[in-house]
Amino acid sequence: MLSQLSVKNLAVVEKLDLSFEAGMSTVTGETGAGKSILLQALNLALGHRSDFTLVRHGQNRAEVSAAFDVHNQEKIQAYLQTHSLEEDGECILRRIISNDGRSKAFVNGINVPLSVLRGVGELLIDMHGQNEHQLLLRAEQQRDLLDTYAQHTTTCDALNAIVTQYNAISHQIDELSNNQDLKQQQQELLQHQLQELDNATLVQEELDTIESDFKTSANAVSLIEKTSNILGQLEQESGANAQLLNLTHALNQALEIDEKLTPIAQMLSSAQVQTQETIYELTNYLNSLSFDEQSTTELEARLGELHDLARKHTCQITALITTKDTISTALDAIDGAGTSLHGLQQQKELLAQKYHKQAKVLSKVRLEKANLLSNLVTEAMQVLGMPGSGFKVDLPKKALGVHFNGNESVDFLVQTNMGSDFKALKKVASGGELSRISLAISVVSSDNEYTPTLIFDEVDVGISGAVAEIVGKKLKQLSQHYQIICITHLAQVAAFGHQHLRVQKAQEEEGAQTTVKQLSDDQRVDEIARILGGSTITDKARIAAEEMIKLSS
């Protein structure tokens, strides 16, 4: 609930600090006293559009601060937590407007975008005034109100969860379906590539050695000539091996004289042994070499085939088998996508069945409660001085399909005169009628969760006498569930307030000055007497005022 409102340098208000109580607060004052400035101040604090011309003449800026007790308001606390604005059960909205047109918004001392301030404000206060900027005029609020009245908000939330899943799966199916032609082309290409690689009969050992094997085969004659020459020089009588044998024998004789030659003798002996091994290996190598022109041609053809494949897949010959495995995996993935598409379509069908089953239940309850709400609000409107009027909750069907919030929209329609057409609530021309319709709906649905504070601006326009008394009773009845702030011109309505505030305007040297004062019991009697009898308060008017307050208690 609203607990405190502070205003500085706003229009005709220099400084104002007001405390509000639970229950019903009435605000009265003479015409032109500035009662609307309270609404302007609250609208600014709630994030509505600002106007730099509201800054008091001669001042640099105007400031409005509204404090709310939100201890038991879970929805508001959740919103504050979402935006990291929570403050131990209190919510303070602050707005600063500079005379250069700039504006700043704060929630619990934190600078926030205007949209966040407005989001918090919509959860705190609903204004029922002579304008069309009310929560009840919004389609989503009308639907929420009916579902809350029907105690079926959880069903609607569960239905929306199904719709969210359904839409997500539909999006996946669309993506897979839209890419189906491309995937088919990819599949055909990959299958062709895989078949080519399969036909090549790839063996990793061959891939690793074929290039060196071809090089050897193509140069066999040259290799035979070169290695034969080297082997001949090593093996001939005066060759390197024979010389090393002679040198080793001579050094061994010297070693018998001087043992310090031992390491040198060992190295020379090792050289001779390595030379002998070289002779053996060269002999084996020459025996393995043969010049076969046909074999070389076959190797060349095979190498060309493998080079072509490697070029197609931009890889080395040795990586062809790895490439083949990659293509096979990609084909499996495409096949899996087809299976996935089928599975997604099955899931979508199951969700659609689940949706239609729950939507049918929701539609049935909505229809039943819509008829009941229509009748009760119509009765309340008659009592509130709108004879011949009517209220109807219309449930137009949506197109076939799966929709958020069910298979029907929720529209509040109003008939202001007997025989006239029912029209959308937002098209009701009279501000007074709109306020009373809002009051009727609020009273009927008062057991439902709503904003904690309701403000009614001149809800009594166009009524008087017994009807005004009924309006006062209805507002007081509503104050058992919400904090009610009512700006009124009627004594019959003002008498029902738990708290009474009077707005006054005075002309001072600096200009007009509006003040707001909370009235004591005696002052309250005088104010109601003033409303009843005019500026001159008579004893008769005072007695009538006392009686009116007594009867309203």
pLDDT tens track for 210-231: 888 788 777 777 787 888 888 8
Give the pLDDT mean for 300-329.
Answer: 86
3-state secondary structure of 96: strand
Q: Could you read off the pLDDT of 500-532 as tens digits, one per residue?
A: 999 988 877 666 788 899 999 999 999 999 988
- Please state the rounded mean pLDDT for residues 246-263: 87
Residues in the chain: 553
Share of the chain above pLDDT 70, in %: 93
> Which position has the token pair 């190797």?
299
Q: Tell me how far apart the terminal alpha carbons of the chain are, to the nearest angstrom.
A: 22
Of residues 132 and 323, more confidently modeled: 323
- Structure token pair of residue 497: 């307030």
Q: How far apart are CA 488 and CA 38, in angstroms?
A: 13
Query: What's the predicted TM-score (pTM) here?
Result: 0.60
Edge-to-edge strand list for the sheet holding 411-415 = 390-394, 411-415, 423-424
pLDDT tens track for 396-450 = 999 999 999 999 999 999 988 888 889 888 777 566 677 778 778 877 876 665 6
Which domains can be identified in the chain, with CATH numbers?
A: 1-124+452-518 (3.40.50.300), 179-336 (no CATH)
Distances 361 to 155, 159, 357, 367 between C-alpha atoms, Å = 9, 10, 7, 10
The DSSP H or E segment spanning 512 is: strand 511-518
Which pair of tokens denotes residue 12? 């005709």
Given this model, what pLDDT does residue 182 score? Answer: 67
pLDDT at 244: 86
Residue of 536, 531, 450 lying closest to 35 (CA atoms): 531
**Mean pLDDT for the chain?**
85
Give the model's confidence band at 133: pLDDT under 50 very low, under 70 low, under 90 confident, else very high.
very low
- Residue-level pLDDT at 446: 66
Query: What pLDDT does 132 receive?
Result: 41
Instruction: Specify whether the CB–CB gap between 125 and 317 falls below 8 A.
Output: no
Residue with tokens 């003040």: 515
